[in-house]
Amino acid sequence: MRILVANDDGIAAPGLAELVAAAAALGGELWVVAPERKWTAASHQLSFDQDLTLSRVGERAYACSGAPADCIVAAMTVLFADGPKPDVVLAGINDGRNVAEDIAYSGTLAIGREASFWGVPAISISRVKSASHRTGDDAALRALLRTLWKTRGEWTSPGRWLAVNLPAVLPAPIIQSAIGRDKIASASDVVERTPERIRYRLRRGRAHGSQTGDENAAIDAGNIVIVRHAWTDAAALPEGLVDSWNRSLR
């Protein structure tokens, strides 16, 4: 069994060390490829037209000069170019929850999505910022990973990966929730304004708004929230749109 662990908070992040320790309990060959530094809202950036480096920092552990998604591409095209690919990719543990529109912004979720592009099962793990490491956290995380791996036949399929959000206190029950709405980058602060130029800074943070049954409500109630994301399903176009356009071509 080959396990690849990556993150978007950087090779020195405490959450990465926690996930690596927990992943070791699954057995097999453990690899780590993580960015040299912390990335915020990196999304699915890939670094073209520049040289990237993989710096060895330990046995089967590398720091990548690129973005979070670059780490997965580096593993697949450089480290595992001659195979085999990993059996699973684990991302995290992100310092802060990833909910709602974070599906587009988060580097942690982009790692899972990139792994799914390569046909590899993936789990992106995040935890609320209010969490503090407690006795029993390590055992709870190991047990969760073992359960997810044991049941992989029920959730793995092409183009799908799991997003897991951990509450402040572990162990905790698992709940499947509705996708929330809790946008980051929802406001800007103007630093300087002249007739020719406006200098501004995006405001950090989010409202942490929630509705009954959504991700934030479930996490704040002390649950582990798991969402199975997919990029392979596409909704059918409205027939009226298609017919209207095609008629215009006649």
Cβ-based neighbours of 122, under 8 Å, separated by 6 or more? 88, 89, 90, 91, 111, 112, 113, 115, 116, 161, 162
What is the dotted CATH code of the domain comprising 2-181+210-248?
3.40.1210.10
Please, which pLDDT band fits residue 142 given cuts at 50, 70 and 90?
A: very high
Domain boundaries, the chain: 2-181+210-248
pLDDT in tens, 31-67: 999 999 999 888 898 999 999 999 999 999 999 999 9
The per-residue pLDDT for 175 is 86
Contact 122, 90 (CB under 8 A): yes
Check: CB of residue 35 under 8 Å from CB of residue 60: no
Q: Give the pLDDT confidence of 80-129 residue by residue, as tens digits.
A: 999 899 999 999 999 999 998 888 889 999 999 999 999 999 999 999 98
